[in-house]
Chains A and B, each alone.
Chain A
């Protein structure tokens, strides 16, 4: 099968991209994700698989290079961290409008502004609510291990091409920087030109006489056509919501309280469950793997069986809004998290839930 390696999350995703047969990567350095492009450059993927790797002059340029390559049907990705992702958002919006598949990685750091270089989950809203301008969504996957950083490359591209949409891997400085054992898959061959045209007949690869010209555009000067296009996009997002929710449940069966946490917060919260057990608190964990589509139904069903839900995030409280919408007021929902680049410990999370229970676990 694959190969076992000890790698940083950022390196694992880069190695996985080469093995996935990704055609191109365009990026711009920013901490804490520069290892992605550094690893790719060092690996000479052009010699290994023919993959193109280019350091762009900015994140704006990088995402537009992605747009061009994606519009030509290629399997293409980029990565950045929070300030750089903000710059990419115009391009992401164009890609959502033009229905182009691509994968982008955000190794989130603390903000707003230049913020900190330390890990954070402060970009949740930006990722799941669209991020750029206009009525759109992108699929958002939240890896909680180095293994998932690697595995989500294939999953992201499958989803991106299935639904013709940009897909974001929403990671953070913890997952990007930490080293873990990871199994990387065997090399997949890159798409041939024939396969590309078969998979993406809409791609701009040069117009043969026998077909109409292909146009990649997000422009509709006629508002009624734009409205129709918006309807089409909504239908797509609805289908994604119905079919693509992924989440993990840990100790939820007989839990009285449930923590909802994703990414590195979920890793931390998983440890907290043990500490809570020692305190005599029966707690479980729901880990959304897809943040859009959000596991609304799954959380709603569990809400009916518990006394309270704690949203644990490394931010001032963003996912809690989606948790509340999912819970529909069935039980109180509260938030706990350190932020600004500070990482909560399993003990802090356990103590926070303990305190909240002692205070009568109120809605926040």
Chain B
């Protein structure tokens, strides 16, 4: 394709989609096909659309998204592994009128940072937690996470997760929903345009809750893929996610406006699949 041809196309009248200015021009460090990039983009779009860019501070702990501050064009703090909810608490308590969010992986939020997560939610801190659950430790090379499915292979469960030895995958989102400090709890995905739209809507509600000081955490789980860690192609990974992750981590709102609207998910046999 010649350059002239491209220049002909790149005209204002042909513009159908524009990257939000709240994403920097830095090349994303994520593997092609990974859900992290999409999640970043829609968070930033929501912040832009709500006009919150100048008042928002993001906190990204260790995980594949540790470099989120390279991509999100707002003030950011990089936190120690698992500690983002405590870091966010420190910021939000000192600046109750600013907008604060954390962006955490499943290893981060549901293993090493379980205490910080539960207690931030239980205190009803008024910030947004975005929880990207890919059932694995992506960053460190695909080790087992607390969310790894029964029988699922990882580099530290090479014969598949043995529930008798390791316990069942931790449905931490369902746990969070039961805490009075949780105001809005939902589980979403970003693997199709329709799901992206739904997740964006949920994010918007979450940030609005915070703006309106609704009193409590808005907790958004995004069930995502890790094609590298799962050792699959992006397409296979998404398919595997739909077939295996979604039955165990069903999508949808769990708690809205402080009210548990999906009580059923709480009675699911946590060991079963």
Q: Which residues of A does B touch, CB under 8 Å?
A: 23-24, 26, 52, 54, 56-58, 60-62, 64-72, 74, 76, 90-91, 94, 98, 204-209, 213-219, 221
Cβ–Cβ contact A64 & B80, under 8 A: yes
Interchain CA distance A69-B119 in the complex, whole Å: 18
Q: Note all chain B residues with C-beta closer than 8 A to A91.
A: 80, 83
Whether the pair A68, B115 counts as a contact (CB closer than 8 A) is no
Interface of B toward A, CB cutoff 8 Å: 53-57, 59, 66-67, 69, 72-80, 83, 86-91, 93-95, 98-99, 115-116, 118-119
Closest to A202 in B: B75
Given known A91-B80, A206-B98, contact A72–B74 (CB-CB < 8 A): no
A216 and B86 form a contact (CB under 8 A)? no
| Pair B78/A72 contact, Cβ less than 8 Å | no
Residues of B within 8 Å of A90, CB to CB, are 80
Closest to A68 in B: B90
A64-B87, A91-B80, A219-B67 known, 11 other contacts, Cβ within 8 Å: A26-B90, A60-B86, A61-B119, A65-B90, A68-B79, A72-B91, A72-B94, A94-B80, A205-B98, A215-B76, A216-B78
Closest residue on chain A to residue B118 by CB atoms: A57
A54 to B94: give the CA distance in the assembly, Å. 11
**B86 and A205 contact, CB distance less than 8 A:** no
Contact A206 B57 (CB under 8 A): yes
Closest Cβ neighbor of A193 among chain B residues: B95
Q: A204-B76, A213-B69 are in contact. Are A71 and B54 (CB under 8 A)?
A: no
A69 touches B86 (CB 8 A): no
CB contacts (< 8 Å) of A69 on chain B: these are 90-91, 93-94
What's the Cα separation between A56 and B125 when bound, in Å? 12
Contact (Cβ within 8 A) B73 A207: yes
User: Which of A24, A62, A206, A218 contacts B78, CB < 8 Å?
Assistant: A218
Chain B residues with CB under 8 A of A24: 90, 93-94
- Residue from B56, B72, B89, B119 with most neighbouring chain A CB atoms (10 Å): B89
Determine if B87 and A207 form an interchain contact, defined as CB atoms under 8 angstroms apart.
no
In contact, B91 and A64 (Cβ under 8 angstroms): no
State in angstroms the CA–CA spacing of A278 and B74 once bound together. 68
Select which of B55, B73, B87 is within 8 A of A71 by beta carbon: B87
Closest to A214 in B: B75
Query: Chain A nearest CB: distance from B154 CB in Å?
Result: 24
Contacts of A52 in B (CB 8 A): 93-94
The DSSP consensus for interface residues of chain A is mixed
Q: Which residues of A contact B93 (CB under 8 A)?
A: 24, 52, 54, 65, 69
Residues of A within 8 A of B94 (CB): 23-24, 52, 68-69, 72, 74, 76
* Residues of the B chain whose Cβ atoms lie less than 8 Å from the Cβ of A221: 67
How distant is the Cα of A343 from the Cα of B182 in the complex, in angstroms?
49
A76 partner residues in chain B, CB cutoff 8 A = 90, 94
Q: How far is the CB of A264 from chain B (nearest CB, A)?
A: 32
Partner of B83, one of A60, A71, A205, A213: A60
Known: A56-B86, A215-B78. A72 touches B95 (CB 8 A): yes
Nearest first, the 5 closest Cβ-Cβ pairs linking A and B are A68-B90, A64-B86, A65-B90, A68-B87, A217-B78
Offer 30 A-B interface pairs, CB within 8 angstroms, sorted by A.
Answer: A26-B90, A52-B94, A57-B118, A57-B119, A58-B115, A60-B115, A60-B116, A61-B115, A61-B116, A64-B86, A64-B87, A66-B90, A67-B80, A71-B87, A76-B90, A91-B83, A94-B79, A204-B77, A205-B75, A206-B55, A206-B75, A206-B99, A207-B54, A207-B73, A213-B75, A215-B69, A216-B76, A216-B78, A217-B78, A219-B78
Smallest beta-carbon distance B72→chain A, Å: 8
Bound together, the chains give a CA A207 to CA B99 distance in angstroms of 12
- Chain A residue numbers with a CB within 8 Å of B79 are 64, 67-68, 94
- A51 vs chain B, min Cβ distance (A): 10
CB-CB nearest in chain B for A90: B80
Contact A207 B74, CB 8 Å, known A67-B90, A69-B90 = yes
